[in-house]
Amino acid sequence: MTTERRSSAATDVDLDDAELDRQLDRTWAGRTSFWGAIAAVDHKVIARRYIVTAFVFLILGGMLALAMRIQLAQPEARFINADRYNQIFTMHGSNMMFLFAVPVMEAMAVYLVPLMVGTRNIAFPRLNAFSYWVFLAGGILLWISFALDTAPDVGWFAYVPLSGPEYGSGKRADVWAQMITFTELSALAVAVEIVVTVLKQRAPGMSLDRIPLLVWSMLVMAFVVIMAMPAIMFESSTLIMDRLVGTQFYNPAEGGDVLLWQHLFWFFGHPEVYIIFLPAVGMVSTILPTFVQRPIFGYLPVVMALIATGVLAFGLWVHHMFVIGLPRLAESFFTASSMAIAIPAGVQIFCWLATLWAGRPIFKTPLLFVIGFIITFVIGGLTGVMVASVPFDAQVHDTYFVVAHFHYVLIGGAVFPLIAGIYYWFPKMTGRMMSERLGQWSFWLIFVGFNLTFFPMHILGLQGMPRRIYTYQPEMPWGGLNLFISLSAVILFSGFLVFFIDVARSWSAGRPAGQNPWNASTLEWAMNSPPPPYNFRRIPVVDARDPLWCGSDELPVASGLRTDRRELLISSVVEALPEARESSPRDSVWPFWAAIATSIMLIWSIFSPWAIVWGSIPIAITLIGWFWPKGIAEDES
Amino acid sequence: MKEQPVLDVSKLPLHGMGIASPAWWGTCTFMLIEGSAFGLAIAVYFYLMSLAPHWPPDVPPPDLFAGTCLTVLLLASVVPNVLVSRWAQQRKLGKVRIGLVVMSLCGIAPLALRIFEFPAQHVNWDESAYGSIVWTILGLHTVHIITDLIDTLVLACLMFTRHGDNTRRYGDVEDNALYWNFVVIAWLPLYACIYWVPRL
């Protein structure tokens, strides 16, 4: 690298806006051909694919729920047989947790975090593309196996010994385990990107105390992913090993232990709830201030609550295992820690209420879903405190009470904020507004339909109806409520239908949104909608927590970045002082091939341990192709 | 919005080194992931031990020789590793090339010893849960040695090409050295666990 070349490199200094846009577009835009689409590494493109794919899985999972509700609407129904029903409830849970909830939340982070911290692409954009292809392959694996009648039938947590070599015949449990490996691999990859993007790519001046709350929540979520997901990957791998090569991890006859499975699963599984929930509260803390037009009340306590939730998430997994016969001290400890997590949740709720109280609420659709979230989540939280108590949990364990509880926290706590987030950021992502009229319809249908569907399940649970039964006898006192629930589910489904119709219509025919239709305060609203491939014409310089609410029409920016290569700013971790101009990788098809090679190896390894050996060779080749320097401008230093 | 330039970044370097490099942070984050996995493996080891009436169950403790040799070798490899990292920081191409060749050998030698470690456990992976976790820990760590070895080999080849003399590549060499240190340090608790806990 010579000084001569440096001086000749094109920078954005002395360029007018139109010319700068043109040059940046030439450098950052991807090709429009088929292979151009395969090679894309723009975080917005990848995130859009993630979100659309995850919503397709939501629809598919919803269809399964509908099938179960038809089956349960009356006693002794013959719509679905027992074996198919086992597959369906396993698919529904696995699909919703691993193919919808976690990926869609991470996808929102992939889209929004780079925009909100003021950078041009996510860190490690090729890893990002790789993660999407791996996620897609995992989802396809699960659904193709369902079509072939070999879908997992062991519940979404696949407890041994049911899923072990003794009882889980065929390849059904292996499909479950390997789908886990696919999705957790992609989730871990995205977590790494989020951590590095937030720590190192923030706009100059965005010190830790100016990071938008959504970004804070995504950062904490990413760390929880990093600490929790290795547990489930370890577990899914050991399950496959027990089934394929005869290891004895979960075989009590040879010194293994079935409860080890539960410990490992819930050491991951409980933080998993917060992996879904933390991004959701981040969305709430971002949307709420916009619709009351004042900054959030209690920024610092909210950040502290996010971090505290992330830490406490690892200290309560055993409350899923209260009926296995634990020592009393352990039961007391995990009861206490389970109740303790209500404290950071409470802090946030009071901060939101104070924000609402102090502002002037504008009751648009996103705010409605946020308020719906607060109400529903409080109910789900209250039943959570109830089941945290050991004697109560022993009564309702494995009944519909638990089903009601976790749908309240997962749909109320995560899907409501997510839909609020879709209504809120749709204008940014597509450049078009969604319909306010249809939005109100979908909110009321979903909110009312949800509560009518899931509240009665508490009562069913108290009446003793167990989870995961494919039918029940007419003598049981459950028929009336089940019919009521199934009919209510139709209202809930119609609400989602209205939502999807609204999305489809608005995508092509919505009202143009402009830069900042909600008059929001964060950086993603500072550029055109949808954002150009390079996000920011010039990287913004931040001197306040709400950079767009500073009362000025001008955005302070940094100049001096090159336009002939993909370049962005690296800044220090705490104060976000600029440290370097770093290049951002160009489009590449190698992540796609690496994902194909990885998928072949993972699926092959369900059938033969030698897949690990031979299947790794193509992976190594694709990775070398991925990392080998191409001698382009991005490689200069 | 109208833009108001308030900061000129054109004098900043075209690539950050050390903590100014995203790749360094990415490596650290991956180490956190792998570290969590190793920690879990150890937790599972102790969990299974707490259930067993005898530990190790019905077999003698593993032979120390191969594992201890490997541990010494890994610890010794830290010296050239730190040197390579330092040379990379000083951008001394010739020394980095030699250092990477040495480090490639330092990656191959433990693999040779590792072959003798598996039989030294006196148990197969499918004989008991003890065998399963010991083989899994050894396998997991071996995968890390192999991964870093391949990375080192590719980097060594790369440094002999025209792409070698580049700050970015020196950064890669440093990150690779950082990861090898992690592979060595992660082995120490695993070694203590596999070889010394059964002797307690």
Which DSSP string corresponds to B71-95? HHHHHHHHHHHHHHHHHHHTT-HHH
Type and span of the H or E element at B68: helix B65-89
At B39 the pLDDT is 96
Q: How many domains does one find in chain B? A: 1
**Which residues in chain A are contacts of B8 at CB distance < 8 A?**
13, 558-560
At A327 the pLDDT is 86
- Phi/psi-derived region of residue A334, left when phi > 0, alpha when psi is between -120 and 50, beta in every other case: alpha
At A3 the pLDDT is 40
**Which residues in chain B are contacts of A629 at CB distance < 8 A?**
158, 163, 166, 168-169
In order along its 200 residues, chain B shows pLDDT tens digits of 788 999 999 999 988 888 899 999 999 999 999 999 999 999 999 999 999 999 999 899 999 999 999 999 999 999 999 999 999 999 999 999 999 999 999 999 999 999 999 999 999 999 999 999 999 999 999 999 999 999 999 999 999 999 988 999 999 999 999 999 999 999 999 999 999 999 98
Interstrand relation of A554-559 and B2-8 (parallel, antiparallel or unpaired): parallel
A298 vs A158, A209, A351, A420, CA distance in Å?
41, 12, 6, 22
DSSP state, A325? -
**What is residue A472's three-state secondary structure?**
coil
- In tens, the pLDDT along A261-313 reads 999 999 999 999 999 999 999 999 999 999 999 999 999 999 999 999 999 99
Q: Which residue from B6, B48, B126 is facing A557, i.e. has the nearest CB? A: B6
Q: Which residue from B10, B51, B168 is facing A13, i.e. has the nearest CB? A: B10
Distance, in Å, from the CA atom of A614 to the CA atom of A599, rounded to the nearest integer, reads 13
Distance, in Å, from the CA atom of B82 to the CA atom of A34, rounded to the nearest integer, reads 46
Q: Are A99 and A183 in contact (CB under 8 A)?
A: yes
Look at B33 and A319; give whichever has higher pLDDT. Answer: B33
> Which residue, chain included where needed, has tokens 């000749």?
A8
Q: What is the mean pLDDT of chain A?
A: 94
B188 vs B80, B106, B132, B136, B179, CA distance in Å?
19, 17, 20, 16, 15
Note whether B126 contacts A248, CB cutoff 8 Å. yes
**Which residues in chain A are contacts of B15 at CB distance < 8 A?**
580, 582-583, 636-637
Residue A248, pLDDT above cutoff 70: yes
At A7 the pLDDT is 46
At A465 the pLDDT is 96
Chain B closest CA to A154's CA: distance in Å? 23
Residue B3 included in any domain: no
Nearest CA in chain A to B171: A637
- In tens, the pLDDT along A402-413 reads 999 999 999 999
Note whether B127 contacts A226, CB cutoff 8 Å. no
Residue B81 included in any domain: yes
Distance, in Å, from the CA atom of B190 to the CA atom of B134, rounded to the nearest integer, reads 9
- DSSP of A359-375, one letter per residue? S-----HHHHHHHHHHH
Nearest CA in chain A to B136: A238
Q: Determine the length of chain B.
A: 200
Chain A closest CA to B12's CA: distance in Å? 5
Residue B100 included in any domain: yes
Name residue A322's amino acid: F
Confidence band, pLDDT 50/70/90 cuts, at residue A331: confident
Q: Are A47 and A193 in contact (CB under 8 A)?
A: no
At A187 the pLDDT is 97
Q: Which residue from B1, B126, B133 is facing A245, i.e. has the nearest CB? A: B126
**Which residues in chain B are contacts of A635 at CB distance < 8 A?**
163, 166, 168
Q: For residue B22, which of A130, A121, A201, A635 has the smallest C-alpha distance?
A: A201
Nearest CA in chain B to A514: B1
Note whether A557 contacts B130, CB cutoff 8 Å. no
> Which residue, chain included where needed, has tokens 């699926």?
A603
Chain A closest CA to B176's CA: distance in Å? 13
> Which residue, chain included where needed, has tokens 């957790």?
A184
Structure tokens at A517: 């239709």
DSSP state, A583? E
A332 vs A171, A314, A326, CA distance in Å?
39, 16, 10
**Which residues in chain A are contacts of B7 at CB distance < 8 A?**
204, 541, 556-559, 578
Q: For residue B45, which of B148, B154, B194, B187 has the smallest C-alpha distance?
A: B194
Sorted by where each starts, the structural domains of chain A and their CATH numbers stand as: 42-585 (1.20.210.10)
At B17 the pLDDT is 85
The contacts of residue A275 (CB under 8 Å, 6+ apart) are: A102, A105, A187, A221, A224, A225, A228
Nearest CA in chain A to B9: A560
Residue A5, pLDDT above cutoff 80: no
Residue A2, pLDDT above cutoff 60: no
Q: A113: burial class by Cβ within 10 Å (0-12, 13-18, 19+)?
A: buried
At A150 the pLDDT is 94
Name residue A278's amino acid: L
Number of Cα atoms under 13 Å in the Cβ half of residue B43: 15
**C-alpha A78: how far from chain center:** 36
Nearest CA in chain A to B152: A624
B21 vs A119, A206, B41, B156, CA distance in Å?
15, 18, 31, 21
Chain A closest CA to B56's CA: distance in Å? 10
Note whether B127 contacts A248, CB cutoff 8 Å. yes
Distance, first Cα to last Cα, chain A: 7
**Which residues in chain B are contacts of A584 at CB distance < 8 A?**
none
Average pLDDT over residues A416-428: 97
A17 close to B (CB below 8 A): yes
The contacts of residue B119 (CB under 8 Å, 6+ apart) are: none
- In tens, the pLDDT along A66-101 reads 999 999 999 999 999 999 999 999 999 999 999 999
A455 close to B (CB below 8 A): no
Domain region containing B28: 22-53+62-199
Distance, in Å, from the CA atom of A211 to the CA atom of A574, rounded to the nearest integer, reads 10
Q: What is the CATH number of the domain that holds B170?
A: 1.20.120.80
Distance, in Å, from the CA atom of A88 to the CA atom of A90, rounded to the nearest integer, reads 5
Note whether B21 contacts A570, CB cutoff 8 Å. yes
Residue B13 included in any domain: no
> Which residue, chain included where needed, has tokens 């694709």?
A622
Chain B closest CA to A497's CA: distance in Å? 37
Chain A closest CA to B165's CA: distance in Å? 9
Q: Which residue from A188, A570, A627 is facing B22, i.e. has the nearest CB? A: A570
Chain A closest CA to B92's CA: distance in Å? 15
Q: Which residue from B22, B29, B135 is facing A226, i.e. has the nearest CB? A: B29
Q: Are A557 and A538 in contact (CB under 8 A)?
A: yes
- In tens, the pLDDT along A369-420 reads 999 999 999 999 899 889 988 899 999 999 999 999 999 999 999 999 999 9
**Which residues in chain B are contacts of A195 at CB distance < 8 A?**
25, 29
Note whether A192 contacts B48, CB cutoff 8 Å. no
Distance, in Å, from the CA atom of A438 to the CA atom of A416, rounded to the nearest integer, reads 16
Residue B14 included in any domain: no
At A637 the pLDDT is 78
User: What is the complex's ipTM, to 2 decimals?
Assistant: 0.95
Residue B10 included in any domain: no
**Which residues in chain B are contacts of A326 at CB distance < 8 A?**
none
A575 close to B (CB below 8 A): no
- In tens, the pLDDT along A32-58 reads 999 999 999 999 999 999 999 999 999
Q: Are A562 and A11 in contact (CB under 8 A)?
A: yes
**C-alpha A234: how far from chain center:** 21
Tell me the percentage of chain A whose pLDDT exceeds 90.
88
Residue B45 included in any domain: yes
At A8 the pLDDT is 54
Angle at A454 between CA A451 and CA A457, to 5 degrees: 135
At A339 the pLDDT is 85
**Which residues in chain A are contacts of B171 at CB distance < 8 A?**
637
The contacts of residue A532 (CB under 8 Å, 6+ apart) are: A21, A24, A25, A28
Residue A6, pLDDT above cutoff 70: no
| A:B CB pairs within 8 Å | 206
Residue B80 included in any domain: yes
Q: Are A43 and A122 in contact (CB under 8 A)?
A: yes
A615-622 contacts: CB < 8 A, separation 24 or more? A619/A594, A620/B150, A621/A597, A622/A590, A622/A593, A622/A594, A622/A596, A622/A597
Q: Which residue from B34, B51, B169 is facing A257, i.e. has the nearest CB? A: B51
Tell me the percentage of chain A whose pLDDT exceeds 70.
99
